[in-house]
Structure 1
Amino acid sequence: MYLACIFDLDGTLADTLESIAYFSNRALEQCGYPVIPTADYKKIVGDGADMQVRRMLDRVAGKGKWAEKDFRRVRTVYGGLYGAEPTRLLKNYAGMPETIRRLKGAGIRTAVLSNKPHEWVTAIIETLFPQGSFDVCFGQKPDIPRKPAPDGALLIAEKLGVSPKECLYIGDTNTDMKTGSAAGMDTVGALWGFRTRAELEQNGAHYLAERPEQVAQIALSGKQWGENE
């Protein structure tokens, strides 16, 4: 059994796709650009707001066809819009609150690690989950390199009082699989999230889960869900 579970936020703990697309497209419109279909944001998000905006501009203006001042403008508008209402259009994934309760009930420590700005992360977690659901919650901070650097995951393990080998890292993108691996943690690829099974497998996922409930089974047994006892 693992002693701690560290979760990514977007596409793992919470379905934030509509929320991200809403604020992103409002920012693009206000800056004179066309909008991007909501589903396409699955491949745009995952490496922090700065990288997200750069990918948005690559999409709507073309790679190499926008300047740093264009990035700063869209990023500022996006940050202002999202920061003012970070809980708009949020959704819980079915079974996720119950999964967190089961883990906590079994004595497993729980934490959040996201590349989203820290203040947004805490607002989202406080909206979707009961108080005390997570022992540690980290969003992007100036003094912690963003994922896939392992620094945040390792700091969380230290705060939880567990070794990296006792942690299970759960996420839905290649960035998450790289983060967990770099920290020396086993990883679970969340197939309900934003990316594909192939991406997760190609980036070294130790386990794959089709539903949140299966994360608890993996954490408690150390076995792939469905695997014979």
Structure 2
Amino acid sequence: MYKCCIFDLDGTILNTIESISHSISLTMEHFGYKTVDEAHTKQFVGDGFKKLVERALLFSGDENLVHYEEALAVYEKVFEKNCLYKVRPYEGIPEFLCFLKDKGIRIAVLTNKGHERAVECVETSFGKGFFDLITGEGDLIACKPDPSGALYTAGYFHVSPSQCLYFGDTNTDMRTGINAGMDTVAVTWGFRDREELETFNPKYVIDHPEKIKHVFE
């Protein structure tokens, strides 16, 4: 029986693509490049903001990453102002999370988004204290797909990895769950397609939160 559900943030519980696309576009415009559309942004995210900036610069033509260090600083300032831009929960997510809480299941967020911005997004969208634990990218825990964040979460709740269900929308999330020895749930409403997710043989593949409720009944 699962005692804990760990959720990725971007593309899993919150639709943040407009905030990220808007922020990376403003960053690229700072250097005279064109905006980055949402389709490409979806491919660039998932591995932390440093990789996002790197991929956006390469996409924009900065093949030698001449602007990389400056772009990191620009993006952080821009994103601090725009991290809540048009952010909203995915359909069915608030109801599903309440369902889990009613069942006594601990719920946590584990994301490669910077910790401060992650807390801001989650608490603004769901309320302070709604999630039992929020862990974003920081100095103490390595970026996913390193399993340390997922294992830290399991340890925080005093449960084994086999008692945790890990939800995500990218290959990074699937690899995180595998690396941590946790069953994975691939969600198809996020930033990557079903084909990419199924490559990693997730325990479950769902197109709506309702589709996984039976596991907890």
TM-score bracket, shorter-length normalisation? over 0.9
1:127 to 120, 124, 146: 124
**Alignment partner, residue 169 of structure 1:** 166
For 1:39, what is the secondary structure of its paired residue?
A: helix
Distance 1:140 1:188 in 2: 21
**Alignment partner, residue 115 of structure 1:** 112
Unaligned segments of structure 2, at least 5 residues: none
**Alignment partner, residue 138 of structure 2:** 141
Residue-by-residue CA offset, 1:43-83 (whole Å, 9 max, x unaligned): 11000000011110111115xx233x411111111110111
For 1:177, what is the secondary structure of its paired residue?
A: helix
For 2:64, what is the secondary structure of its paired residue?
A: coil
Instruction: Confirm or deny: 8 A CA contact 1:104 1:133 kept in the other structure.
Output: no
How far does residue 132 in structure 1 lie from its aligned partner after superposition?
2.7
How far does residue 193 in structure 1 lie from its aligned partner after superposition?
0.6
Unaligned segments of structure 1, at least 5 residues: 222-229
Q: Give the AA of the match of 2:64.
A: W
How far does residue 216 in structure 1 lie from its aligned partner after superposition?
3.1
For 2:67, what is the secondary structure of its paired residue?
A: helix
Distance 1:20 1:166 in 2: 32
**Alignment partner, residue 66 of structure 1:** 64
Moved over 4 A (4+): none
2:206 to 206, 209, 224: 209
For 2:144, what is the secondary structure of its paired residue?
A: coil
For 1:121, what is the secondary structure of its paired residue?
A: helix
For 2:195, what is the secondary structure of its paired residue?
A: helix
Distance 2:35 2:108 in 1: 34
TM-score after normalising by structure 1: 0.91
How far does residue 115 in structure 1 lie from its aligned partner after superposition?
0.3
Q: Give the AA of the match of 1:190.
A: V
How far does residue 165 in structure 1 lie from its aligned partner after superposition?
0.2
TM-score after normalising by structure 2: 0.96
How far does residue 108 in structure 1 lie from its aligned partner after superposition?
0.4
Instruction: Confirm or deny: 8 A CA contact 1:6 1:111 kept in the other structure.
Output: yes
Percent sequence identity over aligned pairs: 42
How many pairs were matched up?
A: 217
Measured on the aligned residues, the alpha-carbon RMSD in Å equals 1.2
Instruction: Confirm or deny: 8 A CA contact 1:101 1:133 kept in the other structure.
Output: no
Distance 2:28 2:180 in 1: 36
